[in-house]
Chain A
Amino acid sequence: MAAMGATGARRGSAAAPAAGLERPAWPPLPQRAQPRWAPSLLAIRAPIPRRSRWTLTGLSLAVPLTAWVALAASGAVSETFLPSPAAVWSAGLEMARTGELFADLWATVQRVLLGFGLAVLVSVPLGIVMGTFRAGQAALEPVIGVLRYLPASAFIPLLIIWLGLGEPSKVAILFIGTVFFNTLMTADVVRGVPVALIDVSYTLGARRGEVLRKVIVPHALPGMIDAIRVNAAAAWNFVVVAELIAATAGLGYRIVRAQRFLQTDKIFAVLVVIGVVGLAIDLTLRLLRDRVGRWA
């Protein structure tokens, strides 16, 4: 009984204090004044009125936009460096009219679907294996833990040497940039499935494969979609980086081209499109997650 010996020294504390231990006549506890400034909008985690919420959301969009308009109209900054919102809008319209905007957008989206899609196809099963089997964790975690810290952009020269300047190297960068993170995040989610739920499933007659299929995967599904959502944003970043190097189409390519001709209005327009598409992807995945995770 090794543990007994270790705790035996504290034996004296086991006895309850004798009844009637008298409390000293110490002075009353000091009082603290009520804080003078405690706005209800800043109460921690407390709900705020609907109107305040919409006002704040509106302001967060309106303030930067107004500042942009004001700064551009004041003439303090040259139109070449900071185009007015109107100029950006018309540049965007012009790109849409010629069709190059949609061609670029489609080229970029295609790369994301391919590169990130492959990453999801590989990382989800890998993450499930890592999170479910200790053997999987022991075998995969060290390797993936190291690979994750290698920046994907540092692979660009190597990938160009290996795969050339075409599509494969761009898809590969996206893949490398997202696959390891998504694996580790999936593994974490899977490891969060309560042991009691797994134990009870065995006592209901489930076998290992059934526990995996009918308990672990359904329980982890909403969390796995969350991981994909976070990493989709990363994929969207990497694709633009990849296109800055050598591409003949794509939103990143369009930015580089516009830079050559000092078309800052075009750059801004592309940035707006990237932001809007990113937001749309995020909202779609969030909607999917909420549907799948209605039970949580």
Chain B
Amino acid sequence: MGVTGVLELKGVAKDFRVRRGTLRALDGVDLQTSAGEFVCVVGASGSGKSTLLSLIAGLMRPTAGQITLDGRPVTRPGPDRGLVFQTGSLYPWRTVEENVGFGLELLPLPKPERARRIEWYLEETGLAALRTSLPRQLSGGQQQRVAIARALACEPDVLLLDEPFGALDVQTKEDMQVLVRRVWQDTGTTVLMVTHDVEEAAFLGQRIVVLACDPGRVATEIPVPLPEDRALAVKRTPEFLALRASVEDLVRAQHHRHLARSGG
């Protein structure tokens, strides 16, 4: 795979101003991806998962620490870091193909070349038959496929997924997991995905990063000892179940600490 997509976070902290003083959402986060890696970040609520992605996307600036992508410091959002939210980030007045082509329209790209690329991403994500549909005509899973295709069309060095399947039903979610793994293998993009679903993280990731709560920081990192070619059936193997159980215990422990502190 390519040599791009090396994301590096060093001592990243983020404070939010609250009514009295500040609240530290993230503290001393160190994280690194290798080029083309699939990393899943799991954490209970209050672990600052989404804040972490916003920082990497450049939508906010960290209070302390550094974020670099292939050695370049991250200071603002850009097409080298594609972002997919949980729901509702499609342009409702644009058709599927116009959504996918949004980023390409901003570039000095000849029209046939743009069309050719849009076509490829539509095929890759199984949206070819829906190219002229509007977002409101699509199911939740189809909408997320458009969001993924739209981000990938900009050929990002890192694809950031923020709970992208959190609002989908279980069957659709599994279809999407298979799709994301295939797309990842076809494009070679580094993927950093945030989720609270440990099973999803174990199925998708090469490595799982568990976040601690209050403030959010890296509790532990766990390599995923599963074969690279994974079918959904892998979720029933003893290796998978053991991994899932141990990660779930870690996340649950953090969840309880969070409850004990916040009284929620």
Listed in ascending order, the chain A residues whose CB lies under 8 Å from chain B are 1-4, 6-14, 194, 196-197, 199-207, 210, 214-215, 218-219, 295-296
Complex alpha-carbon distance, A295 and B18, angstroms: 38
Contact with A along B246-259 (1 / 0, CB 8 A): 00000000000001
Contact with A along B8-30 (1 / 0, CB 8 A): 00000000001011111000000
Q: Are B20 and A204 in contact (CB under 8 A)?
A: no
Interface range on chain B (Cβ under 8 Å from partner): 35 or more
Return chain A residues, CB-CB under 8 Å to B57. Answer: 199, 203
Q: Are A205 and B93 in contact (CB under 8 A)?
A: no
Q: Are A10 and B263 in contact (CB under 8 A)?
A: yes
19 extra interchain contacts, Cβ-Cβ under 8 A, other than A4-B214, A206-B102? A2-B20, A3-B18, A3-B21, A4-B262, A8-B263, A14-B264, A196-B85, A199-B77, A200-B89, A200-B147, A202-B76, A202-B77, A202-B78, A203-B82, A204-B103, A205-B106, A205-B107, A206-B103, A206-B106
Given contacts A3-B18, A3-B23, contact A203 B92 (CB under 8 A): no
Whether B154 sits at the interface, judged by CB under 8 Å, is yes
Complex alpha-carbon distance, A194 and B78, angstroms: 19
Return chain A residues, CB-CB under 8 Å to B18. Answer: 2-3
| Residue of chain B at shortest CB distance from A12 | B263
Instruction: Give min CB distance, A4 to chain B, whole Å.
Output: 6
Return chain B residues, CB-CB under 8 Å to A196. Answer: 85, 88-89
Q: Are B79 and A205 in contact (CB under 8 A)?
A: yes
| Residue of chain A at shortest CB distance from B102 | A204
Whether B91 sits at the interface, judged by CB under 8 Å, is yes
Given contacts A14-B259, A204-B151, contact A295 B92 (CB under 8 A): yes
Q: Are B261 and A4 in contact (CB under 8 A)?
A: yes
Complex alpha-carbon distance, A231 and B57, angstroms: 41
Residue pairs across A and B with CB atoms within 8 Å: the count is 101
Return chain A residues, CB-CB under 8 Å to B6. Answer: none
Q: Are B77 and A203 in contact (CB under 8 A)?
A: yes
Q: Are A199 and B83 in contact (CB under 8 A)?
A: yes
| Residue of chain A at shortest CB distance from B135 | A295
Complex alpha-carbon distance, A29 and B83, angstroms: 51
Q: Are B103 and A205 in contact (CB under 8 A)?
A: yes
Complex alpha-carbon distance, A75 and B93, angstroms: 59
Return chain B residues, CB-CB under 8 Å to A207. Answer: 106
Q: Are B85 and A200 in contact (CB under 8 A)?
A: yes
Contact with A along B75-101 (1 / 0, CB 8 A): 011110111010011011110000000
Residue from B85, B88, B102, B136 in contact with A201 in the complex, judged by beta carbons closer than 8 Å: B102
Return chain A residues, CB-CB under 8 Å to B79. Answer: 203-205
Given contacts A197-B89, A200-B89, A205-B79, contact A2 B59 (CB under 8 A): no
Complex alpha-carbon distance, A54 and B253, angstroms: 63
Complex alpha-carbon distance, A11 and B91, angstroms: 44
Complex alpha-carbon distance, A212 and B259, angstroms: 42
Return chain A residues, CB-CB under 8 Å to B160. Answer: 203
Whether B260 sits at the interface, judged by CB under 8 Å, is yes
Complex alpha-carbon distance, A12 and B262, angstroms: 10
Complex alpha-carbon distance, A204 and B24, angstroms: 29
Complex alpha-carbon distance, A8 and B264, angstroms: 10
Whether B150 sits at the interface, judged by CB under 8 Å, is yes
